[in-house]
C-alpha cells in the first residue's frame, strides 16, 4: 500500500484546471519526484495534499486514511509535513527558537511546569535542547544556533527550513523546490541531506523543476504539464520520454 495516494485530484480556478485528475502514488521509504515546467501545477498539487487549499474533486489518502481537505496542522500531527517554495522561516527569531517552535508537537512541557520551572520542566527543556542540537547537526547548522534566521545565507535558510520540518518528526516530508536559489555546491549538500533523511526512514516527495537535480536522487518521478500527469517512471524512463522532452523544450521543428 502506498503511504500517500491521490485519486482524481482536481483543482479548478474559475474553470481553469490547475491540477487535473491527478493520480499520484508515493511508496513508503522512497524519494518521489514531482516535476514539470513552471506553472504546471506542482505547488498547487502540494497545497491540495497538505490541506492549504481544498480540492474541487478527488481523494487524498495517507496511510490508508482519507485526508482530503484536512487541516495542515492535523496532517502534521500524523506525520505529513511540508516546506514552502519561498523559503519560510520565523525570520526574526534565532536558529534555536526556529527549531524549538518546530518542536511544538513533541514539546512535553506543561503550562504549570513552565510557570514554576519545576525540575521536570527543566529536564524536559534539556532534552528538547539536545534534540534541537541534533536536528541542527543533521543539516549542518550546529555552529549557527544563536544566529537570527534572517541573517542566514540562502543555503542556510533552506537547511534550517528542513531542520524546522524535522523537528515536527515527519514520516513523510514534502519539499517544494528546495534547491531554488542554491549554488551547485549547496544543492549537492541538500541532495545528500535528502538521501540521509530517506535512509532514516522518512518518505520524501520532492517537487522540483530542475530535471538534472532530480534525476540522480529520485527513485521514481511523476511529470506534470498543464496540471495533468504526462509521464511516470524511473529517472531513466523519464529522461528518454518524448512527451517530457516536448513539455520542457517544446516540439522539435519538423517532428
Partner 1 sequence: MQVRSPLRYWFGVPVLVVALLAPVSLFTNSYNRGLLVLIAIYAVGGLSLDYIMGEMGQFSFGHAAFWGFGAYVSAKLALDLGISPWFGFVAAPVAAGLVGLLIGYIALRRTRGLELAIVTLGFGVLAWTVALRWRPVTGGPSGLRQIPPPSLFGWEIRSEMAYYYFALILLLGVVFILSRMREARFGRAVRSIHENEDLAKSIGVSATKYYVLAFSFACAMVGFSGALYAHHFRFVNPNLLGLQYMFIFLIVVLVGGTGTLWGPVMGSVIFVLVSEWLRALQEYRFLIFGVVLLLVVLFMPSGVYPALQKASGRLRERSDSKGQVFSGGQKHESGGAKGG
Contact call for residue 120 and partner 1 (CB under 8 A):
no
Choice between 19 and 100, CB closer to partner 1: 100
Contact call for residue 61 and partner 1 (CB under 8 A):
no
Contact call for residue 172 and partner 1 (CB under 8 A):
no
Residue 242 CB, shortest distance to partner 1, in Å, is 37
Geometric angle at alpha carbon 75, from 172 and 67, rounded to 5°:
100
Q: In what order do the strands lie in the sheet with 220-225?
A: 80-82, 172-176, 203-208, 31-35, 220-225, 228-233
Crossing angle (nearest 10°) for helices 184-199 and 154-167: 10
What phi, psi does 234 have (nearest 5°)? -75, 160
- Of 129, 134, 142, 232, the residue at the interface with partner 1 (CB under 8 A) is 129
Contact call for residue 107 and partner 1 (CB under 8 A):
yes
Closest CA to 40 of 145, 164, 167, 177: 177
Closest CA to 149 of 73, 93, 231: 93
Site for partner 1 in 69-88 (CB under 8 A): 71-74, 76-77, 81-84, 88
Residue 71 CB, shortest distance to partner 1, in Å, is 7
Task: Give the interface segment with partner 1, choosing from 1-9, 113-121, 195-203, 212-220 (CB under 8 A).
Answer: 113-121
Choice between 126 and 154, CB closer to partner 1: 126
Task: Give the interface segment with partner 1, choosing from 16-24, 92-100, 197-205, 220-228 (CB under 8 A).
Answer: 92-100
Strand partners, 4: 26, 62
Spatial contact of 59 and 7, defined as CB atoms under 8 Å apart: yes
> DSSP secondary-structure letter at 171?
S
Spatial contact of 159 and 153, defined as CB atoms under 8 Å apart: no
Residue 121 CB, shortest distance to partner 1, in Å, is 7
Contact call for residue 147 and partner 1 (CB under 8 A):
no
C-alpha dist (Å) from residue 228 to 36, 121, 220, 247, 252: 10, 51, 17, 12, 22
Residue 176 CB, shortest distance to partner 1, in Å, is 11
Choice between 125 and 230, CB closer to partner 1: 125
Residue 133 CB, shortest distance to partner 1, in Å, is 9
210: three-class secondary structure by DSSP: coil
Contact call for residue 210 and partner 1 (CB under 8 A):
no
Contact call for residue 158 and partner 1 (CB under 8 A):
no
- Of 18, 128, 163, 193, the residue at the interface with partner 1 (CB under 8 A) is 128
What span, in angstroms and rounded, lies between the C-alpha atoms of 221 and 230? Answer: 11
Binding site for partner 1 (CB under 8 A): 50, 52, 71-74, 76-77, 81-84, 88-94, 96-97, 100-102, 104-105, 107, 109-111, 114-115, 117, 121-123, 125-126, 128-129, 132, 146, 164-165, 167-168
Amino acid at each position: 500500500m502506498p503511504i500517500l495516494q491521490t485519486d482524481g485530484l482536481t483543482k479548478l480556478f474559475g474553470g481553469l484546471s490547475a491540477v487535473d485528475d491527478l493520480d499520484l502514488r508515493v511508496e513508503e521509504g522512497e524519494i518521489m519526484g514531482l516535476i514539470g515546467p513552471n506553472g504546471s501545477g506542482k505547488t498547487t498539487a502540494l497545497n491540495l495534499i497538505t490541506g492549504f487549499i481544498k480540492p474541487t474533486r478527488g481523494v487524498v489518502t495517507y496511510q490508508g486514511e482519507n485526508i482530503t481537505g484536512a487541516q495542515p496542522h492535523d496532517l502534521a500531527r500524523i506525520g505529513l509535513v511540508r516546506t514552502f517554495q519561498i523559503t519560510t522561516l520565523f525570520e526574526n527569531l534565532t536558529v534555536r527558537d526556529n527549531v524549538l517552535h518546530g518542536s511544538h508537537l513533541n514539546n512535553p512541557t506543561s503550562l504549570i511546569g513552565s510557570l514554576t520551572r519545576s525540575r521536570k520542566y527543566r529536564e524536559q527543556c534539556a532534552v528538547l535542547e539536545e534534540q534541537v542540537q541534533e536536528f541542527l547537526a543533521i543539516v549542518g547548522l550546529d555552529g549557527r544556533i544563536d544566529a537570527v534566521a534572517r541573517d542566514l545565507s540562502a543555503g542556510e535558510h533552506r537547511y534550517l527550513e528542513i531542520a524546522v520540518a524535522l523537528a515536527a518528526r515527519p514520516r513523510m516530508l514534502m519539499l517544494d523546490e528546495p534547491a531554488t536559489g542554491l549554488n551547485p555546491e549547496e544543492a549537492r549538500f541538500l541532495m545528500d541531506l535528502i538521501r540521509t533523511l530517506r535512509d532514516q526512514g522518512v518518505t520524501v516527495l520532492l517537487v522540483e523543476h530542475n530535471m538534472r537535480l532530480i534525476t540522480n536522487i529520485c527513485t521514481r518521478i511523476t511529470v506534470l504539464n498543464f496540471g495533468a500527469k504526462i509521464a511516470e517512471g524511473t529517472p531513466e524512463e523519464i529522461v528518454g520520454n518524448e512527451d517530457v522532452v516536448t513539455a520542457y523544450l517544446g516540439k522539435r521543428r519538423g517532428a
